[in-house]
């Protein structure tokens, strides 16, 4: 008798994101509850910034009833402009919130033009 192969679908989880632009760059906050650093991948390829996070299943028997998904994957891709200094993007993960700082290249930052008086 042939064995049945168990097929598991990866559940896509919703990742709310807030984005704020400043003179220095862009700050992106992504809610990723349950994601640990080792289960998070942030990658820049060309002009795309990709964020992938995985939430692993909790140990069985821990909950009697679970209203929220305990296993799945967060995945978002953003197009970044040429004004962003991709080599200096920084990431912090704290309390289930990922904070990405995308600095602008120096030449893309606003600057004040001096006025000459004659």
> Tokens for 63?
């909950």
pLDDT of residue 66: 52
Confidence of residue 3 (pLDDT cuts 50, 70, 90): low
pLDDT of residue 106: 86
pLDDT tens digits, residue range 7-26?
A: 556 577 778 999 999 999 99
CATH architecture of 17-107: Sandwich (2.60)
pLDDT of residue 10: 58
In this predicted model, which residue has the larger pLDDT, 28 or 11? 28
C-beta of residue 60 within 8 angstroms of C-beta of residue 2: no
C-beta of residue 42 within 8 angstroms of C-beta of residue 91: yes
Give the N- to C-terminal CA distance of the chain in Å, as an integer: 95
Instruction: Give the span between the Cα atoms of 19 and 84, in whole angstroms.
Output: 14
**Model-level pTM?**
0.74
Per-residue pLDDT at 96 exceeds 80: yes
pLDDT of residue 14: 79
pLDDT tens digits, residue range 45-84?
A: 999 999 998 887 665 555 555 555 567 888 899 999 999 9
Which has the closest alpha carbon to 54: 42, 69, 40? 40
pLDDT of residue 54: 87
pLDDT of residue 32: 86
């Amino acid at each position: 008798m042939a064995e049945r192969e168990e097929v598991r679908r990866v559940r896509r989880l919703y990742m709310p994101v807030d984005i704020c632009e400043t003179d220095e760059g862009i700050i992106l906050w992504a809610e990723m509850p349950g994601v640990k650093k080792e289960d998070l991948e942030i990658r820049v390829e060309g002009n795309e910034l990709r964020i992938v996070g995985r939430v692993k299943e909790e140990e069985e028997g821990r909950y009697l009833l679970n209203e929220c998904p305990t296993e799945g994957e967060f995945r978002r891709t953003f197009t970044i402009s040429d004004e962003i200094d991709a080599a200096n993007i920084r990431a912090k993960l704290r309390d289930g919130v990922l904070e990405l700082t995308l600095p602008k290249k120096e030449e893309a930052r606003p600057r004040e033009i001096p006025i000459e008086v004659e």
